[in-house]
């Protein structure tokens, strides 16, 4: 990671606007039809790939189309459908606990605090659910892509997700919290790849620490 620091004078609220504009409103790569499916997909996708979860989700939701249906399931029934998912045993337990606690789709929490009380839902997952549900943002999505992109840009330092999020919350206006995390995630997926990032095509290269260091 380049050691060059971004000038303190950078107004990140303004600097990220091209990036936000580029990806504003773009749906998360997980495929879902409602908040129940979204919550399930988000839980299953932790430490796994969105593509993998999307491939098995149709069969899962055909078998368990709602929280009410899921609440009646047995762990073994879930294992048959998601046995290829990383940490599937714990995820099955978490989903069953959630379904039995929430009861109905309409009872899924609509706040960060409420979502985080559900097993298997951390800050990142809760922020994704809020963003995709069109609810007010209470934080910034920090996934593996954001963990890479934010330090490269120079908008944050470190490798701890919560510390990265705290820095983003301090530098980005609240009105953009719901967009910036997902925008940075898409940037990481499409352009700012782990190796050979396409810096010349990046809308953030004018303020990016990594790009500035690579030009030297």
The pLDDT confidence band at residue 214, using thresholds 50, 70 and 90, is: confident
Answer yes or no: are the C-beta atoms of 136 and 119 closer than 8 Å: no
Structural domain tally of the chain?
Answer: 2
Q: Residues 71-88: what's their mean pLDDT?
A: 97
Give the residue numbers spanning the domain of 83. Answer: 35-132
The answer to whether residue 99 is domain-embedded is yes
Residue 22 pLDDT class (50, 70, 90 cuts): very high
CB 19 within 8 A of CB 184: yes
How confident is the model over 175-196, as pLDDT tens digits?
Answer: 999 999 999 999 999 999 999 9
Q: Is the pLDDT of residue 7 over 80?
A: no
Q: Which residues of 72-89 are buried (b: 16+ CB within 10 A; e: fewer)?
A: ebeeeebeebbeebeebe
How far apart CA 173 and CA 176 sit, in angstroms, is 6
Q: Which of 29, 27, 99, 26 is nearest to 60 (CA)?
A: 99
In sequence order, what are the residues at sequence separation of 6 or more whose Cβ sits closer than 8 angstroms to the Cβ of residue 102?
Answer: 67, 108, 109, 118
The confidence score (pLDDT) of residue 8 equals: 57
Specify if 2 maps to a domain: no
User: How is residue 123 written in tokens?
Assistant: 């800050």
Q: How confident is the model at residue 31 (pLDDT cuts 50, 70, 90)?
A: very high
Q: Which token pair is 35?
A: 């908040």
Q: Is 85 domain-assigned? A: yes
Same domain, yes or no, for 157 and 128? no
3-state secondary structure of 207: coil
CATH of the domain at 97: 1.10.340.30
Helix 144-153 crosses helix 177-190 at what angle (to 10 degrees)? 90
Determine the pLDDT at residue 86. Answer: 96
Same domain, yes or no: 177 and 209: yes
User: Is there a single domain that holds both residue 123 and residue 86?
Assistant: yes
176 and 120 co-located in one domain: no
Provide the pLDDT for residue 215.
77
Per the prediction, the chain carries an average pLDDT of 95
Strand, helix or coil for residue 51: helix
pTM: predicted TM-score of the whole model, two decimal places: 0.92
Which stretches within 46-87 are classed as H helix? 50-63, 67-70, 75-82
């Amino acid at each position: 990671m380049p050691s060059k620091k971004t000038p303190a004078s950078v107004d990140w609220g303004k600097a990220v606007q091209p990036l936000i504009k580029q990806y504003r409103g773009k749906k998360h790569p997980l495929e879902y039809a409602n908040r129940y499916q979204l919550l399930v997909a988000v839980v299953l996708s932790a430490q796994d790939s969105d593509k993998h979860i999307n491939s098995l989700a149709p069969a899962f939701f055909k078998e368990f189309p709602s929280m009410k249906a899921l609440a009646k399931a047995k762990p073994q029934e879930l294992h048959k459908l998601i046995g290829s998912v990383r940490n599937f045993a714990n995820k099955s337990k978490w989903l069953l606990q959630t379904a039995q606690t929430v009861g109905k789709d309409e009872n899924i929490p609509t706040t960060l605090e409420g979502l985080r009380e559900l097993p298997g839902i951390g800050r990142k997952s809760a922020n994704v659910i809020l963003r995709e549900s069109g609810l007010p943002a209470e934080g910034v999505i920090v996934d593996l892509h954001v963990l890479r992109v934010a330090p490269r840009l120079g908008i944050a330092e470190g490798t701890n997700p919560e510390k990265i999020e705290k820095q983003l919350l301090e530098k980005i206006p609240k009105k953009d919290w719901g967009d910036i995390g997902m925008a940075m995630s898409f940037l990481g997926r499409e352009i700012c790849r782990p190796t050979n990032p396409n810096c010349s095509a990046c809308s953030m290269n004018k303020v990016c620490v990594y790009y500035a260091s690579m030009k030297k």
